């Protein structure tokens, strides 16, 4: 049976199940990072092409800060899938990831500002872009993984789906002050329960 949301909209959670199954197959087939990013972008692009599968509980903004909801973590923590929800005006700090990642916008627009670090530690702006619904961006420590993400809409939330090469909420990484001073953090998640992908009735 499909889960029913508060507004009685049936949720096609099987789409998320198919995605995590395909992603596990991909990781079993290759550990080459660029191949993972290329093929993973295609899988994520398909997932976000249709906005009918994310339960409302994992798309809910919080007026105080952006939300990071775990949707699925691979049993061996080789990858995790997370929904990020930004309310109007909300933004992440400048941060890194220490693993590869993919971001696909499901709803709204996101502004991504990229930075790189000089050998002595100073941060340098390295371009920015707007990611629109259906678009996917990739990053990794190899190709650059320091950024700040801001809701690109002034009056409505934006929601994006992220995939990372680890249990992202559990690993130690860093936020950065504008002068490049790092501060280690472990992000955790906003939710204590995750969607049930596995009811096939
Ligand atoms: Fe990020």
Assign a CATH topology to domain 9-185.
Answer: Jelly Rolls (2.60.120)
Q: Tell how far the Cα of 18 is from the centroid of ligand 1, in angstroms.
A: 24
Q: Tell how far the Cα of 95 is from the centroid of ligand 1, in angstroms.
A: 6
Domain ranges of the chain: 9-185
Distance from the Cα of residue 106 to its chain's centroid: 10
Mean pLDDT of the chain: 94
What is the gyration radius of the CA atoms in the chain, in angstroms?
Answer: 17
Q: Tell how far the Cα of 185 is from the centroid of ligand 1, in angstroms.
A: 13
Distance from the Cα of residue 198 to its chain's centroid: 22
CA angle 73-198-193, nearest 5°?
Answer: 50
| Torsion angle (degrees, nearest 10) of CA 24, 192, 150, 20 | 10
Q: Tell how far the Cα of 161 is from the centroid of ligand 1, in angstroms.
A: 11
Q: Tell how far the Cα of 30 is from the centroid of ligand 1, in angstroms.
A: 24
User: For 65-83, how does the pLDDT look when each residue is reduced to its tens digit (9 = 90+)?
Assistant: 999 999 999 999 999 999 9
Q: Tell how far the Cα of 163 is from the centroid of ligand 1, in angstroms.
A: 10
The structure tokens listed for 151 are 């809701």
> Could you tell me the pLDDT band of residue 7, with boundaries at 50, 70 and 90?
low
Longest Cα–Cα distance of the chain, Å, equals 57
Q: Tell how far the Cα of 8 is from the centroid of ligand 1, in angstroms.
A: 32
pTM to 2 decimals? 0.93
Report in angstroms the alpha-carbon separations of 118 from 91, 126, 179, 192. 24, 11, 11, 38
How far apart CA 103 and CA 119 sit, in angstroms, is: 27
Residue 4 confidence (pLDDT): 46
Q: Tell how far the Cα of 62 is from the centroid of ligand 1, in angstroms.
A: 18
User: For 129-185, how does the pLDDT look when each residue is reduced to its tens digit (9 = 90+)?
Assistant: 999 999 999 999 999 999 999 999 999 999 999 999 999 999 999 999 999 999 999
Residue 201 confidence (pLDDT): 85
């Amino acid at each position: 049976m499909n889960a029913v949301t508060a507004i009685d909209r049936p949720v096609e959670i099987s789409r998320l199940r198919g995605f995590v199954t395909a992603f596990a197959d991909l990781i079993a087939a290759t550990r080459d990072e660029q191949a993972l990013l290329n093929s993973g972008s295609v899988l994520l692009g398909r997932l976000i092409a249709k906005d009918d599968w994310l339960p409302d509980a994992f798309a809910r903004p919080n007026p105080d800060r952006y939300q990071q909801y775990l949707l699925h973590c691979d049993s061996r923590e080789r990858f995790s899938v997370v929904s990020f929800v930004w309310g109007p005006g909300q933004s992440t700090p400048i941060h890194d990831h220490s693993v590869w990642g993919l971001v696909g916008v499901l709803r709204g627009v996101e502004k991504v500002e990229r930075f790189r670090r000089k050998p002595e530690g100073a941060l340098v702006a390295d371009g920015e872009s707007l990611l629109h619904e259906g678009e996917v961006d990739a990053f990794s420590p190899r190709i650059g993984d320091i950024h700040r993400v801001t809701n690109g809409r002034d009056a409505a939330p934006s929601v994006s789906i992220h995939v990372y090469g680890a249990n992202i909420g559990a690993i130690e990484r860093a936020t950065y002050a504008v002068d490049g001073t790092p501060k280690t953090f472990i992000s955790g998640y906003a939710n204590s329960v995750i969607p049930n992908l596995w009811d096939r009735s």
